[in-house]
Amino acid sequence: MADETNVADVLAETEERMEKAIQYLTDELRGVRTGRAHPGLVESIKVDYYGSPTAMNGVGSISVPEPRLIVIKPFDPQTIGDIEKAIQKSELGISPNNDGKVIRLSIPMLSEERRKQLVSRVKELAEENRITIRNIRRDANKKADSMQKSSAITEDDAEKFKDQVQTKTKAYERQIDEIVSKKTAEVLEF
């Protein structure tokens, strides 16, 4: 008889780790530029805020008043220079416009070549996440094998568990494909 709680716990932990991998991919892709302005482009940029790296949305309010404009209003006006430096150091490729009170980022049209580079980056991130999902599957399968060796579960239960993990792996890989397809369409959209 299988130790149902242990198997269920391992399965729940596996699914939780896969869900975190999907969330990480989603967060990373929010920072990939498209032809439009959106707060996700700058939210995760780290600003040196009094010696501590802080996400952009932690040091100022971010708004998008126009389709091609991002406005960042610092909570503390003295940090405007630090925010500007962080944007310049980021991979965003946009020069900030600072008027002393707010920073404006004009989002230029993307060239066809730049769009292709961004699509390549999106695909790289997707592949990294597929590998993460597969590593999580491998870890879960190792746990099943060790539970079987210690006689906590039978060979049939271990195989059933591995089948469940494989089903979840395929489902999360499909989710990655959907996310990437959507982001690729956004990047290629004019």
Percentage of the chain surpassing pLDDT 90? 38
pLDDT of residue 176: 94
Residue 121 and residue 110 in contact, taking contact as beta carbons nearer than 8 Å: no
For the stretch 131-155, pLDDT in tens is 999 999 999 999 999 998 988 888 8
Domains of the chain: residue spans and CATH? 4-30+112-188 (1.10.132.20), 40-106 (3.30.1360.40)
Instruction: Tell whether the model's pLDDT for residue 122 goes beyond 80.
Output: yes
Half-sphere exposure of 93 (CA within 13 A, CB side): 13
Instruction: Tell whether the model's pLDDT for residue 4 goes beyond 60.
Output: no
pLDDT of residue 1: 41
Distance between CA atoms of residues 39 and 62, nearest Å: 6
Residue 168 and residue 18 in contact, taking contact as beta carbons nearer than 8 Å: yes
Mean pLDDT of the chain: 87
What mean pLDDT comes out for the span 157-175? 94
Distance between CA atoms of residues 161 and 174, nearest Å: 20
The pTM score is 0.69
pLDDT of residue 5: 56
What mean pLDDT comes out for the span 177-186? 90
Nearest to 42, CA basis, from 65, 58, 26, 23: 58
SS (H, E, C) the chain: CCCHHHHHHHHHHHHHHHHHHHHHHHHHHHCCCCCCCCCHHHHCCEEEECCEEEEHHHCEEEEEEECCEEEEEECCHHHHHHHHHHHHHCCCCCCCEECCCCEEEECCCCCHHHHHHHHHHHHHHHHHHHHHHHHHHHHHHHHHHHHHHCCCCCHHHHHHHHHHHHHHHHHHHHHHHHHHHHHHHHHHCC
CA dihedral sign of residues 25, 30, 31, 35: positive
Which residues 6+ apart lie within 8 Å of 112 measured at CB? none
